[in-house]
Amino acid sequence: EAAVTQSPRNKVAVTGGKVTLSCNQTNNHNNMYWYRQDTGHGLRLIHYSYGAGSTEKGDIPDGYKASRPSQENFSLILELATPSQTSVYFCASGRGANQDTQYFGPGTRLLVL
Amino acid sequence: QQQVRQSPQSLTVWEGGTTVLTCSYEDSTFNYFPWYQQFPGEGPALLISILSVSDKKEDGRFTTFFNKREKKLSLHIIDSQPGDSATYFCAASGNQGGSAKLIFGEGTKLTVSS
């Protein structure tokens, strides 16, 4: 059974619209992460969380918000979507220890028109 | 600013051949270097990792080498198989107070032809 799931798997949004990407993990991990993947850039960290109620800015947070209402759930919110946010988004979880493995979800493909 | 650089961007090898992927990094405080493997339509998954106190780690057909002086690491795949066709990411992290943030390279798309 998949330990990190994401929804939706595919999303088409309009410029200026609000988009919410959801992530759920059953690993009971403290840390969760949101990345975007673009050709030539690899995976870039947008936001991360140490636990319920916590959100931290990653390396490219502009234009994104995050919410961690519970240990299991972590959402990425695009309040005003732009075409430059067209990408594949991955959620991951980890225990939070240094040298720790991160476990990734299957990704959400977002197209902003 | 890309702190972890990976090459080549793409690579094709024949079945049975040896694949070599390389990465370089800038931050001398990095001490943990995982390699992630990603198949199309899936999320990345940990393949192998190495700590800065080691210079080599082997797991079956996969070996990662680390050169602290040159700030470089590499992934070698011997007897490459079509099932190894995937995108490979190197990553790096240091001691960051519990965030365990990873910095990823740009990725190498490997195609193994039979």
**Whether B106 and A40 lie within 8 Å, measured CB to CB:** yes
Residues from chain A contacting residue B42 (CB–CB below 8 Å): 106-107
pLDDT band at B48 (very low <50, low <70, confident <90, very high): very high
| Rounded Cα–Cα distance for residues A94 and A102 (Å) | 5
Contact status of B54 with chain A (Cβ, < 8 Å): no
Strand partners, A70: none
Architecture of domain B4-94+101-113: Sandwich (2.60)
CB atoms within 10 A of CB A69: 10
Tell if the CB–CB gap between A48 and B99 is shorter than 8 Å. yes
Distance CA A20, CA B38 (A): 24
Rounded Cα distance between A34 and B46, Å, is 17
* Domain edges within chain B: 4-94+101-113
Q: What is the pLDDT of residues B56-114, one digit of tens each?
A: 999 999 999 999 999 999 999 999 999 999 999 999 998 766 667 899 999 999 999 99
Domain A4-96+103-112 adopts which CATH fold?
Immunoglobulin-like (2.60.40)
Report the chain B residue with the minimal C-alpha distance to residue A37.
B106
Alpha-carbon gap: A39 to the closest alpha carbon of chain B (Å): 7
> What tokens does B21 get?
């992927």
Q: What is the pLDDT along chain A (113 residues), one digit of tens a residue?
A: 669 999 999 999 999 999 999 999 999 999 999 999 998 889 999 999 999 999 999 999 999 999 999 999 999 999 999 999 999 999 999 988 778 899 999 999 999 99
Nearest chain B residue to A6 by CA distance is B43
Distance CA B65, CA B26 (A): 17
Of B6, B42, B94, the CB nearest to A106: B42
- Tally C-beta pairs within 8 A across A and B: 73
Domain boundaries, chain A: 4-96+103-112
**Per-residue 3-state assignment (H helix, E strand, C coil) for A25-79:** ECCCCCEEEEEEEECCCEEEEEEEECCCCCCEECCCCCCCEEECCCCCEEEEEEC
Rounded (10°) CA dihedral B3, B7, B9, B11: -160
Check A97 against B98: CB less than 8 A apart: yes
Å between A37 CA and nearest CA of chain B? 9
